[in-house]
């Protein structure tokens, strides 16, 4: 139970690409931990926009994948 909760907590803290090196950075931090690039407030806004876009994309994907999965499972069991 604790392991799952920890995994969910990690997933709730997504990271976006650094404007300088492209590696994942935390939008709450002021500096990229990879290249040391100092994130400006504009960079952070872009990161948050990117993360919001990724989140919405993930939700849309779930809307498509879940019914498909259910149909496939239904076919699998009905053909048996």
Rg (CA), the chain: 18
Q: Does residue 34 interact with Zn ion by CB under 5 A?
A: yes
33 binds Zn ion (CB under 5 A): no
Closer residue to Zn ion, CB minimum distance, 13 or 34: 34
Q: Is 31 in the site for Zn ion (CB under 5 A)?
A: no
CB-CB contact of 26 with 15 (8 Å) = yes
Residue from the set 6, 7, 13, 21 that interacts with Zn ion by CB under 5 A: 21
Contact 11, 26 (CB under 8 A): no
- Using H for helix, E for strand and C for coil, what is the string for 18-41? CCCCCCEECCCCCECCCCCCECCH
Candidates 6, 35, 63, 70; binder of Zn ion (CB under 5 A) is 35
**Which positions lie near Zn ion, rule CB under 5 A?**
18, 20-21, 32, 34-35, 37
């Amino acid at each position: 139970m604790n392991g799952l909760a920890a995994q969910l907590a990690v997933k709730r803290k997504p990271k976006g690409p650094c404007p300088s090196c492209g590696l994942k950075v935390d939008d709450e931090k002021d500096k990229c931990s990879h290249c040391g690039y100092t994130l400006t407030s504009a960079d952070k806004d872009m990161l948050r926009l990117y993360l919001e876009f990724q989140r919405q994309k993930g939700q849309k994907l779930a809307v498509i994948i879940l019914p498909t999965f259910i149909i496939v499972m239904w076919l699998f069991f009905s053909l048996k």
